[in-house]
Amino acid sequence: MVTTATKSMAFMALLATTACGGGGGDNPVVSPTPNGLPYGATGQDLADAEGVQMSLAAAALSSTGVSVVQGGSVTLATDFLTGGPANQGALDATIEIFGEVVTITNGSGTLSNGHSVTLIYEPDRSGQYAGAVSLTTFNTSGGQSGEVGYVFGFETDPADMQVTGTATYSGGFVANGFAGLGAAEYEGTITIAVNFAGPVSGSLDGMLDGTTALDLNLSGGALSGNGITAGLTCAAGCTGGAGDLDASFYGPNAEELGGVLAIDSNVFEGAGTFIITVTGL
């Protein structure tokens, strides 16, 4: 892990959460915004996402706490998903990052300002219908200057979302960014309780660099179509507001819930991803 950093930068968290409509109950019906892939169906494989230009929403979070949502696109090359930490040669992609399109070859690329980009794909963090990709940018002195998290996949058709009942999703999350002036990693377990006819609640129980407990709660969680939005507030290890969460359901029957974390607390700022599955009803 890089231990030098420049804090005056914008964090990016790519949100594959194009809040699609449908559903019922008290949820508003909105027009679906396709991400370039078909909706979730039985028998799909993540490799079916290769070679397709995917339109994703992007949330930019600056060190001053100002966040904006903007569009972005990702195209994964054929055989990309055979890559990983032990096979960087397969990690070719075209990705829109920080307002420009960058070609990633063998897991690396370069921004127009000379900052280098390193792409990370961890197959064990992907699900059947959703995958996660992250990038780290480094300035010309080698210091970490940015973090990007992506979630992509086959979203649940909003028309197939259930409108009653409850489900609990749980699994791991990872976020990278800065604690003070140094690079840091925030990792742990995220649990989200979904009431398909009402509110959404949840929590993140994690450790900062494996040594300091940092727990967050979802605040004002809401379900719309096949997507969830929520604020993040500090529960332990920090104070005040702590950022935002944006997620979508994936698979033909909402088997997976994947999304991004734009974290802006008083002890850690960064971007992360999660892909979690049903653990209770």
Q: What is the mean pLDDT of the chain?
A: 83
Domain count, the chain: 1
**130, containing H or E segment:** strand 130-138
Share above pLDDT 90 across residues of the chain, in percent, rounded to a whole number: 58
- In a domain, residue 184? The reply is yes
pLDDT value of residue 180: 83
Does residue 124 have a pLDDT over 50? yes
- In a domain, residue 1? The reply is no
pLDDT value of residue 4: 36
CA–CA distance from 192 to each of 46, 147, 156, 183, 200 (Å)? 24, 24, 17, 27, 7
Does residue 36 have a pLDDT over 60? yes
Cα angle for residues 66, 67, 72 (degrees, 5° grid): 145
- In a domain, residue 4? The reply is no
Q: Which residue has the higher pLDDT, 63 or 50?
A: 50
E strands along 196-268, which residues? Answer: 200-208, 212-224, 227-236, 241-250, 256-264
Mean local confidence (pLDDT), 200-207: 98
Range of the domain at 264: 10-280
pLDDT value of residue 172: 98
Mean local confidence (pLDDT), 90-111: 92
Question: 244: domain CATH number?
Answer: 2.40.160.90
Measured CA to CA, the distance from residue 16 to residue 48 in angstroms comes to 16
Lowest mean pLDDT among 54-68, 183-197, 229-243: 54-68
pLDDT value of residue 7: 37
Does residue 136 have a pLDDT over 70? yes
Predicted confidence band of residue 169 (pLDDT cuts 50, 70, 90): very high
- In a domain, residue 5? The reply is no
Predicted confidence band of residue 160 (pLDDT cuts 50, 70, 90): very high
Torsion angle of the four alpha carbons 93, 183, 261, 200, in this order, in degrees rounded to the nearest 10:
150
Strands 144-153 and 10-15: parallel
Share above pLDDT 70 across residues of the chain, in percent, rounded to a whole number: 82
- In a domain, residue 2? The reply is no
In this structure, are residues 202 and 221 in contact, taking their beta carbons and an 8 Å threshold?
Answer: yes
Does residue 98 have a pLDDT over 70? yes
Q: Which residue has the higher pLDDT, 68 or 44?
A: 44
pLDDT value of residue 71: 57
Q: Which two tokens stand for residue 258?
A: 């994947």
